[in-house]
Amino acid sequence: MKNFSKGLACVLAAVVLTAVLTGCGGRAGGRTIIRIGHNQSTNHPTHIALSEFETWIESKLGDKYDVEVFPSELLGSQNEMVQLTQTGAIHFCVASNSLLETFSTNYTLFNLPYLFVSAEAYHAAMDDAAITGPIFASTKDAGFEAVTWLDAGTRNFYTVNTPIETPADLKGLKIRVQQSPTNVQMMQLLGGSATPMGFGEVYTALQSKIIDGAENNELALTDNGHGDVCKYYSYDMHQMIPDILIGNAAFLDSLSEEERAVFEEGFELVNQVQREAWTDAVAAAKDRAANEQGVQFLYPDTKPFQEACAPMHEDMLAQYPDLRPIYDAIQQYNEQYPSAAS
Ligand code: GCU
């Protein structure tokens, strides 16, 4: 991705310049251009869902809005895109919940390792507005609002040449983590050496042996080529971290009631389309990784990993006691939807 950085910088500079000269997003033929950035490929469920959002908004409000979706970090890294959304240089972007904890500590909750015991509990909790509402609104003062969540599966470790069967296998390995204090702490507790960096830099870092591995869902192996370099993918299941679609708060507030209703339906559509496409995308990625890239999938006992990270739950609740009721509500979903293994 770095090879394109000059071209990307030009796109970004043009977008920012247009925004500065014309106000948030710019105008084309009397229509406001709504720019949405994300860091996935055009095959990814997130891009497919945002393209449907584009069609939806233009079918309902096409005389007023022209939606443009920019994939593959074309508008910058996730961190940069969040800042562009904050200032209103772009209207929306998709950010991992991990990154958002540096904008509001409330988001720390969804980054906790082993917070959800099953995908069903995770989905039910994220669909519950009583759980997400207070967290999603908490960045309004920072200039942006979370409008829906997107599935990003389960995060697991993968390495160039070390099968990870227990936390002890991580010792001495440099593992890329997302740029968030929670992820760094998790890696420290598990015994590896945390190397935070942006998503777009991971492939080159793996290839040039700056890092020994990373952690992500299966799509990173295929869509981002990490499986060309990493041959062991270990289902330790440490996190289910949602991606979040965020929007510029001033823009959202400027919408009329009718327009806001259309946008809300669009956000719901993004969520539905993305999660419907997710399961098939993971199955296809796994198949390709195993059969074309030669990745070996491992299924270690997850308990020792979970035990190593367990202190993080009480630590977080002691630090942010306001999050306790939401944490407890998540435990109810965990009881309702136990893991298949338990
Ligand atoms: C996943 C997630 C992205 C995130 C990436 C990362 O792919 O969907 O939003 O940027 O992980 O590890 O940085």
pTM passes above 0.75: yes
- Ligand 1 mutation pick, 75, 178, 187, 219, max ligand atoms within 8 A of CB: 178
Residue range 198-248, pLDDT digits in tens:
999 999 999 999 999 999 999 999 999 999 999 999 999 999 999 999 999
pLDDT of residue 29: 79
Looking at residues 304-317, what average pLDDT do you find?
A: 98
First vs last C-alpha separation in the chain: 41
Looking at residues 267-296, what average pLDDT do you find?
A: 98
pLDDT of residue 253: 98
Looking at residues 257-266, what average pLDDT do you find?
A: 98
3-state helix, strand, coil in the chain (%, to 5): 55, 20, 30
For residue 79, give the H/E element and its range.
Answer: helix 78-87
Bridge pairing between strands 92-96 and 65-70: unpaired
- Ligand 1 mutation pick, 44, 73, 96, max ligand atoms within 8 A of CB: 96
Task: Please report the atom of ligand 1 found closest to the CA of residue 39.
Answer: 10
pLDDT exceeds 80 at position 19: no
**Confidence bin at 340 (pLDDT 50/70/90):** confident
32 lines ligand 1 (CB under 6 A): no
Residue nearest to atom 13 of ligand 1 (CA): 199
Rounded Cα–Cα distance for residues 296 and 303 (Å): 21
97 lines ligand 1 (CB under 6 A): no
pLDDT exceeds 50 at position 21: no
Question: For residue 239, what are the β-bridge partners?
Answer: 155
CA distances from 272 to 5, 59, 112 (A): 33, 18, 25
Rounded Cα–Cα distance for residues 316 and 64 (Å): 45
pLDDT of residue 2: 37
199 lines ligand 1 (CB under 6 A): yes
pLDDT of residue 25: 52
Rounded Cα–Cα distance for residues 91 and 36 (Å): 6
78 lines ligand 1 (CB under 6 A): yes
pLDDT exceeds 90 at position 288: yes
pLDDT exceeds 80 at position 140: yes
162 lines ligand 1 (CB under 6 A): no
123 CB-near residues (< 8 Å, 6+ apart): 151, 275
Q: Which two tokens stand for residue 236?
A: 């330790």
pLDDT of residue 5: 45
Task: Please report the atom of ligand 1 found closest to the CA of residue 220.
Answer: 7
Residue range 143-155, pLDDT digits in tens:
999 999 999 999 9
- φ, ψ of residue 256 to 5 degrees: the values are -70, 170
pLDDT of residue 20: 41
**Cα angle 96-102-104, degrees, rounded to a multiple of 5:** 95
**Confidence bin at 17 (pLDDT 50/70/90):** very low
What is the distance in A from the centroid of ligand 1 to the CA of 195? Answer: 15
Residue nearest to atom 9 of ligand 1 (CA): 96
The chain-wide mean pLDDT, for the chain, equals: 94
111 lines ligand 1 (CB under 6 A): no
Task: Please report the atom of ligand 1 found closest to the CA of residue 46.
Answer: 8
Does residue 150 contact residue 271 with C-beta atoms inside 8 Å? yes
pLDDT of residue 3: 37
pLDDT of residue 15: 54
pLDDT of residue 139: 96
Looking at residues 286-310, what average pLDDT do you find?
A: 98
Looking at residues 30-55, what average pLDDT do you find?
A: 98
DSSP letters spanning 100-148? HTTT-GGGGGGGSTT--SSHHHHHHHHT-HHHHHHHHGGGGGGTEEEEE
**Confidence bin at 111 (pLDDT 50/70/90):** very high
Looking at residues 283-300, what average pLDDT do you find?
A: 98
Looking at residues 265-283, what average pLDDT do you find?
A: 98
Looking at residues 305-328, what average pLDDT do you find?
A: 98
DSSP letters spanning 19-57? HHHHSTT-EETTEEEEEEE-SS-TTSHHHHHHHHHHHHH
Percent of the chain with pLDDT over 90: 91
Q: Identify which of 213, 238, 217, 206 has the alpha carbon closest to the alpha carbon of residue 289.
A: 217
Rounded Cα–Cα distance for residues 265 and 337 (Å): 28
Q: What is the SS3 assignment for 172?
A: coil
The more confident residue out of 23 and 280 is 280
Q: Which two tokens stand for residue 214?
A: 């990373």
334 lines ligand 1 (CB under 6 A): no
What is the distance in A from the centroid of ligand 1 to the CA of 222? Answer: 13
Percent of the chain with pLDDT over 70: 92
- Ligand 1 mutation pick, 43, 187, 243, max ligand atoms within 8 A of CB: 243
Residue range 149-194, pLDDT digits in tens:
999 999 999 999 999 999 999 999 999 999 999 999 999 999 999 9
pLDDT of residue 1: 36
**Confidence bin at 28 (pLDDT 50/70/90):** confident
12 lines ligand 1 (CB under 6 A): no
In 243-340, which ranges are continuous DSSP H helix? Answer: 249-254, 257-291, 303-309, 311-319, 324-336
Task: Please report the atom of ligand 1 found closest to the CA of residue 198.
Answer: 13
